[in-house]
Amino acid sequence: QVQLQQWGAGLLKPSETLSLTCAVYGGSLSGYYWTWIRQAPGKGLEWIGEINQSGGTNYNASLKSRVTMSVDMSKSQFSLRLSSVTAADTAVYYCARVVSVLLYFGEDNWFDPWGQGTLVTVSS
Amino acid sequence: DIQMTQSPSSLSASVGDRVTITCRASQSISNYLNWYQQKPGKAPNLLIYAASSLQSGVPSRFSGRGSGTDFTLTISSLQPEDFATYYCQQSYITPPTFGRGTKLEFK
C-alpha cells in the first residue's frame, strides 16, 4: 500500500522560499502524476500543481510564476518550492498521488493517497 | 476556473440519521466529481470517485449520485466516525477545484 511522508520548514519569513519534500513508500513514482495541494486556515483546498516521473509539470496559473516542482526518482521523492512567500501562503500543504483511470465517460483522476500535511506559517 | 458550491456549509445530525450533502458545479462536468472526508488534523481521504464509484475500503453507507452540474453525497445511517468535513472536487478541467466543505456535526 502506497504511503506518502512529507517534510519541510514550517516557519518562514516574508520573501523567503518554501521548500517541501514528499517521499513515496510502497510504490513507484513511475506511471503517476504527483501533486501538491494546500489548505489555508479556515479555508478550502487549493491545487498548486503536479509533476510526473519525467519531470513534466502542470501548475495552477494563480501560482505559476512562483512554483517549481521537481522529482528525484532515485529517492522516490518529489518536491515543491514556492518563492517570495507572503502571509497569504500560510497553509497546511499536502502531497498526494494522482490516480488516473480510463472510465466509460473518459479518463478521470483523483487524489489518493495523501501525505500527512505540513503546516507552513509565514510571519515576520 | 470551475466553481464548486457545496450546501449546506454545516449540518447537525444524530447517529443513525440519513444525511445528504449537495455539490453544484458552475458548468457541466459530466461525471468528473470526487468526494473526500477530512477529520480534524488529518489529510482528506477519498470516498467517492467518478460521481458514484465507492473507493475500496469505504463503507457502503456512503453513496454518490449526479451528473452534469448537480451532485449529492449521501450517508445512509450516520456512524460516530462519520462526523467530519466533506469536500467535493471536480476533475473535469485543470485546475481541479474543490468545494468549500460541509462540516457534519453532532446534534
Could you tell me where the DSSP H helices lie in chain A? none
Residue B43: which of A44, A94, A106 has the nearest Cβ? A94
Residue A44: which of B30, B43, B100 has the nearest Cβ? B100
How does DSSP classify residue A27?
Answer: S
From B40's Cα to the closest Cα of chain A, the distance in A is: 11
Model confidence at B103: pLDDT above 90: yes
Closest residue in chain B to residue A4, using alpha carbons only: B43
From B10's Cα to the closest Cα of chain A, the distance in A is: 13
Cross-chain residue pair A108–B91, CB shorter than 8 Å: yes
What's residue B21's pLDDT? 98
Residue B105: band (very low, low, confident or very high) from pLDDT cuts 50, 70, 90: very high
Cross-chain residue pair A45–B89, CB shorter than 8 Å: yes
Residue A43: band (very low, low, confident or very high) from pLDDT cuts 50, 70, 90: confident
**Prior bond of B8 cis (ω within 30°):** yes
List of chain A residues whose C-beta atoms are within 8 Å of the C-beta of residue B99: 44
Q: Round to whole Å and give the CA distance between A13 and A85.
A: 8
Q: Round to whole Å and give the CA distance between A73 and A20.
A: 16
pLDDT in tens, B74-96: 999 999 999 999 999 999 999 99
